[in-house]
Amino acid sequence: MMKLYDTASKAHKIFNPAKSVGIYVCGITPYDSAHLGHIFTFMTYDLIQRRLEDTGHEVKMVRNITDVDEPIYKKAAQLHIDYRELASQEIKRFETVMTALDFRPLFVQPKASEYIYQIVDAVKILFSHGFAYRVEEDIYFDVSKDPKFGEFSNLPEGLAVKFMQKRGGDPYREGKRSPMDFLLWKGITDPNDPAAWDTDIGHGRPGWHIECSVMSYTLLDTPFDLHGGGNDLIFPHHECEIAQTRAIRHTDLAQHWLHVAPIIYLGEKMSKSLGNMIFVEDLLKSYSPAAIRLSLMHYDYREGGEWVPDLLDESTNLLDKLNHSFSHSTPEAASDLLECIRSAIDDDLDTHTVIHLLEDFCEDNNTSRSSKDVAQAKAYVDKCRGLLGI
Ligand SMILES: [Zn+2]
């Protein structure tokens, strides 16, 4: 059985879902191609998916695309192209990388732009339950109506305000009832704005948080098994998702919350403005997908860390040795390795230990085997490869 850290209870919890497992992961905003930090995040959930499938579960993995969001419009305007064109180019680049890295299939990859009318319905429900109010043409969620708001992230107020401002919010907007109130709907008055819809609640577009609430609870039964994303989404994004869902559906959104720390480079989180982004499509020109995956397994998902480019060569060497050892392994050795990898993954995705197991396997395993053992050994080896995607 898997044991995974749960952000909500701030403790490790047994993750023991029913046969069909619903997982929702916040995906990319398609305005800059996915960098190594994104891939590290998504690989964490891919590893969970692989292990669940290994134990006979059917995994409904939903990873959305936030194609309605302010940074896309800004970038599209800089490039003098339509935001939809920018989004579709970037989604294509992202999917090419994900395919090359052999990610397990998604159940659905919803785009926010495809859920506008469901989002409008959600905002109408929030109005009818007394959780929504207007400031000029915009609509906000009134956090004072939800006594549990803030419990999930549990931040001191000063820090919450800071995070909100840094992460797309507007704590100091005039007319709001509280700095923590967050945008549900942005009214658009410019008739030439391409990203606006005519709806019952006005001409405009949804806020970021309500998009994920609606996509996730529309596609998966609530509370679904696990919700994830980068750890910078804990507040405000996931706190707001939880509050909205409570207000609309009177239920928790997810039973287990798992967040991934960033891979940083040159001492900072990868970002366009700092020019320290590593793109996987560039790495793929020189390294195999398996080498990239193994390199990232050197990092603990809850700690992340500074990217060490040498890991790519080290991982390539390890793979060479591993391929040799795999093709000479006895069934017993391969079976032992498989069981140890499974236990390491079940122990809160302990990929450090997985790397050590692979290294030790290459050192130890040079035993002879009979010809009848070949197929049996290969079956175990294929399971090891399948679990790790290498
Ligand atoms: Zn989200």
Secondary structure (H, E, C), 154-166:
CCCHHHHHHHHHH
- The pLDDT assigned to 269 comes to 85
Taking a C-beta distance cutoff of 8 angstroms, is the pair 17, 2 a contact?
no
Q: Is the pLDDT of residue 130 over 90?
A: yes
CA of 237 to the centre of ligand 1 (A): 7
220 Cα–ligand 1 center, Å: 14
The pLDDT value recorded for residue 368 is: 67
Measured in Å, residue 98 CA sits from the centre of ligand 1 at: 19
Task: Please check the confidence at residue 128 and state whether its pLDDT lies above 80.
Answer: yes
Q: How far is the CA of 227 from the centre of ligand 1 (A)?
A: 9
What pLDDT, on the 0 to 100 scale, is given for residue 299?
Answer: 98
pLDDT digits (tens, 9 = 90+) for 146-194: 999 999 999 999 999 999 999 989 999 999 999 999 999 999 999 888 8
pLDDT range class, residue 273, cuts 50, 70, 90: confident
Q: State the Cα–Cα distance between residues 279 and 281, nearest whole angstrom.
A: 5
pLDDT at 145 over 90: yes
Question: How much of the chain is in helix, strand and coil states, percent to nearest 5?
Answer: 45, 15, 35
Q: How far is the CA of 36 from the centre of ligand 1 (A)?
A: 19
Question: Ligand 1 centroid to 241 CA: how many Å?
Answer: 8
Q: What is the mean pLDDT of residues 2-31?
A: 97
Which domains, and CATH codes, for the chain?
2-264 (3.40.50.620), 309-388 (1.20.120)
Residue 367: pLDDT over 70: no
CA of 191 to the centre of ligand 1 (A): 28
Separation of CA 288 and ligand 1 centre (Å): 30
Q: How far is the CA of 229 from the centre of ligand 1 (A)?
A: 7
Distance (angstroms) between ligand 1 centre and the Cα of 182 equals 14
Q: Kindly give, in sequence order, each residue whose CB lies less than 8 Å from that of residue 317, ignoring residues fewer than 6 positions away.
A: none
Average pLDDT over residues 36-44: 96
Tell me which residues have their CB within 5 A of the ion that is ligand 1.
26, 212
CB 103 within 8 A of CB 57: no
